[in-house]
Amino acid sequence: MKRNLFAWKNWMIPILSALLLAWGTAQGEESATVSTAISADGSEIRYGVSGEGEVTLVFIHCWTCNHRFWSSQIEHFSQNHRVVWLDLAGHGDSRSQRSDYSMEAFGEDVEAVVNQVGGEKVILVGHSMGGPVAIEAAERLGDRVIGIVGVDTFYTPFEYPRSEEKIEDFVKPFKEDFKGASEGMVRSMFTPQADKDTVAWLVEQFSGANPEMGVSALYGIFRWNAEKTPAILEKYAAKLRNINAAPTGEEKALHEGVTLIPGVGHFVPQMKPDAFNEALGKIVESDSGK
């Protein structure tokens, strides 16, 4: 009997976790005011606003992801702040009028949303590709941006290809088999201890992405890094902080502005939401002058 009860728990816990994740996302969306902003090229950008506060937190998802990746953060931070989530053009619930998915164009998506919702104290939180997008949005929003938080982006061990030849080599497998290459890359970004059901859910989200958009955005990410770093990071050094992964727990921060979360791979907010929320909360308090 004890053995059967133990087996039942092992079988049910992952299912309950997945159901709670889906429920939390639905609850976050139901409590948000959802609308559409029009980006500079006419793309329809879906976004939501929840919570109230002097500071507006804008969550920007990563490559081929969507706002649902931020469900734990939307629920947590909207209790004390105004939270804005969005789907970049060609992602999630947003529509697209573009063929070139550059970081600059994504930055215009964020600009359109922030201009529509208003707010004089904005903190941009960008995961992975969302980091460069946040920088480009800050370029357009100016002094309204009081802080930028890069999540496992900037000052990480990953070496971006910087020449056109190396960029082409990296992108080639995605042009030949986008789904297979994407799943392979994403699965490599977790620690062996990562919850398998959460990993499966995250991988599933990637598999539904538009291949043409995904390939174009890959070019955009690599070319942005090759052309604009490190100069643009130095420009925003006073506003930029980072929350990065430390998979083994023995990694050292590569910059004084980096907070490391041990025991997790690339998807820090999703796999360790409590630790991430605590780290982000401290940054928000600091940027807000509290």
Q: Which domains are present in the chain?
A: 33-65+81-160+224-288 (3.40.50.1820)
- 254 — phi, psi (to 5°)? -90, 0
Contact yes or no for 126/67 (Cβ under 8 A):
no
Residue count (the chain): 290
Query: Cα(28)–Cα(269) distance, rounded to whole angstroms?
Result: 16
Please return the burial class of 123, using the count of CB atoms within 10 Å of its CB with bins 0-12, 13-18 and 19+: buried
In degrees, to the nearest 5, what angle opens at C-alpha 208 toward C-alphas 35 and 111? 35
Give pLDDT tens digits for 189-245.
999 999 999 999 899 888 778 999 999 999 999 999 999 999 999 999 999 999 999
Query: Cα(221)–Cα(206) distance, rounded to whole angstroms?
Result: 17
Query: Cα(246)–Cα(276) distance, rounded to whole angstroms?
Result: 12
Contact yes or no for 99/216 (Cβ under 8 A):
yes
Query: Cα(184)–Cα(150) distance, rounded to whole angstroms?
Result: 24
Query: Cα(243)–Cα(20) distance, rounded to whole angstroms?
Result: 25
Q: Is the pLDDT of residue 9 over 70?
A: no
Give pLDDT tens digits for 81-133.
999 999 999 999 999 999 999 999 999 999 999 999 998 999 999 999 999 99
Dihedral sign for Cα atoms in the order 262, 265, 269, 272: negative
Give pLDDT tens digits for 122-173.
999 999 999 999 999 999 999 999 999 999 999 999 999 999 999 999 999 9
Contact yes or no for 126/155 (Cβ under 8 A):
no
Q: What is the pTM of this model?
A: 0.89
* 61 or 205, which is more confident: 61
CA distances from 226 to 162, 165, 205, 232 (A): 5, 12, 28, 11
Beta strands 122-127 and 258-262, pairing class: unpaired
CA 227 to chain centre: 22
Q: Is the pLDDT of residue 20 over 70?
A: no
Q: Is the pLDDT of residue 2 over 90?
A: no
